Chain A
Amino acid sequence: MFKKFSAADASGQSILKSSVQRSIRATLLSQMNWDAETLELVWPKKEALVLVKCRDHISIYTVQGEPLFFQHFDGPFFPTLRLLQKYPSLLPKVQVDRGAIRFLLAGAHMMCPGFTSKGGWLPDADAAIPKEKAVAIFAEGKDHPCGVGLTKLSSEEIKSVNKGVGVEIVTYLGDDLWSLKKL
């Protein structure tokens, strides 16, 4: 999503109405794993949330110029990778094996076998992740998550189907959103 991206792709910035900000706050609390107090640390209520509209229906949300969340059309909210690394448990965890890392950092979507091999990891059936859900992508042998993804199959399907794309990568370490510290 941010493989070739620059501030020039942003077509306009606007401060959101406070009613909209309130509903986004509620959505962020329901879609991600954190409490209101922690969200308050990241996005204090006295700071305005700014919507930066970008090409291809990508919306980036910034606080004091720092990109914190983004969204494609009106899909789920994603944290930026920088935010996710500060709060790694915001999203359910999946893990790819070491061999997949260099493909991930080149922007490739993640194939099922990367998760089901020895170095990969998926939650057990009782904590299964449904499809079309934002996930934190960890990698074998690494402490920090290195990508944010959207599941194309449920975690149980990834295990059983075990071929093709399991998780689409929406942002990854070193892409142009990563490089964009202020917008």
Chain B
Amino acid sequence: MGKKKNVQPPPPSTSTLPELTADGEGNVVGEGPVVVEEAKKEGVKPLEVLYCQGELRYPIDVGCDDDLVIVCSFPPEFCEFGSSLTRCKAWLHEEHPDLFDKYYSEDALVEKTALLSTEAATKLEKDTAKKEAKAEAKARAEEERKKEAKVIVKRIERNKRKYVTSISGLEAFGIDLKKAAKLFAQKFATGASVTKTVTGGEEIVVQGDVSDEIVDMFEEANESSKESALKGVPEDNIEVVEEKKKKGGD
């Protein structure tokens, strides 16, 4: 027997699962394909899709930092069917002038209208204008509603020197109540629950008298650039009230 194999081939892998621990290279999570033994092929990379950031924005001057913004999010070639075409065009012109020319130059428009009868083309234009007007009106109404809406932070006396604090009216500002309650519970290391109110809304009830701190938390969330579930309630829209125990009255 002259020939002797010194090197044994590695046993065929029984599983296609990548070995996570064997790799001494310190694999970074989500980096590139995990190549399976026998097929050293690489996967097809995804196409890069550009999403339009054109937006309807309604800044208002009531001390609200959080403008109402609706971002288009369509690939730019579809903005003409969205509800913010004017802003989309402005955005594209600014950010991707080459694409702007591609989609909105004279030639592009001529080519597009050639695809439709003139009648249909006018109808489409009218529709787009109508849609835009509708979206703007909706955004404005929403903004009005926000301006009027109030968040009530209420200090409620439960027993002698025992308080809970309720926060109601948050829905109008698009606050996720569960997330907000969690933040309060963390901050005050206490219980915070979301409950239904008699009027059909929902409120957060936090153990203890923490109304001032809560107002501060809303303020901080607005000032900070970090994401927060408490972002979006302007200071002026928060009202602090007190509910005494009936007997104790003043």
Q: Does B20 belong to the interface (CB within 8 Å)? A: yes
Among the stretches A37-45, A49-57, A124-132, A156-164, the one at the interface with B is: A37-45
A86-B47, A179-B73 are contacts. A99–B78 as well, Cβ < 8 Å? Answer: no
Q: Does A36 belong to the interface (CB within 8 Å)? A: yes
- Chain A: interface size category: 20 to 34
Residue A41 contacts which of B16, B18, B46 (CB distance < 8 angstroms)? B46
Q: Closest residue of chain B to A101, judged by CB? A: B81
Q: Closest residue of chain B to A146, judged by CB? A: B78
Report the interface size for chain B: residues with CB under 8 A from the other chain. 34
Residue A42 contacts which of B46, B47, B48 (CB distance < 8 angstroms)? B46
Residue B75 contacts which of A85, A97, A179 (CB distance < 8 angstroms)? A85
**Contact between A40 and B43, CB atoms less than 8 A apart:** yes
**Contact between A39 and B43, CB atoms less than 8 A apart:** yes
Residue B44 contacts which of A45, A85, A87, A144 (CB distance < 8 angstroms)? A87
Q: Within 8 Å CB of A40, what residues of B?
A: 33-34, 43
A37-B39, A37-B41 are contacts. A105–B78 as well, Cβ < 8 Å? Answer: yes
**Contact between A144 and B34, CB atoms less than 8 A apart:** no
Question: Total A-B pairs in contact (CB under 8 Å)?
Answer: 86
Residue B49 contacts which of A37, A39, A82 (CB distance < 8 angstroms)? A82
Residue B116 contacts which of A44, A88, A98, A173 (CB distance < 8 angstroms)? A98
**Contact between B39 and A36, CB atoms less than 8 A apart:** yes
**Contact between A38 and B44, CB atoms less than 8 A apart:** yes
Q: Does B141 belong to the interface (CB within 8 Å)? A: no
- Contact surface of B with A, Cβ cutoff 8 Å: 16-18, 20, 29-30, 33-36, 39, 41-49, 73-75, 77-78, 81-82, 111-112, 115-116, 120, 124, 127
Given A34-B44, A41-B45, A142-B77: 14 more A-B contacts, CB < 8 Å: A36-B36, A40-B34, A40-B43, A41-B46, A46-B18, A97-B115, A101-B78, A102-B127, A105-B81, A119-B115, A144-B75, A173-B74, A173-B81, A179-B73
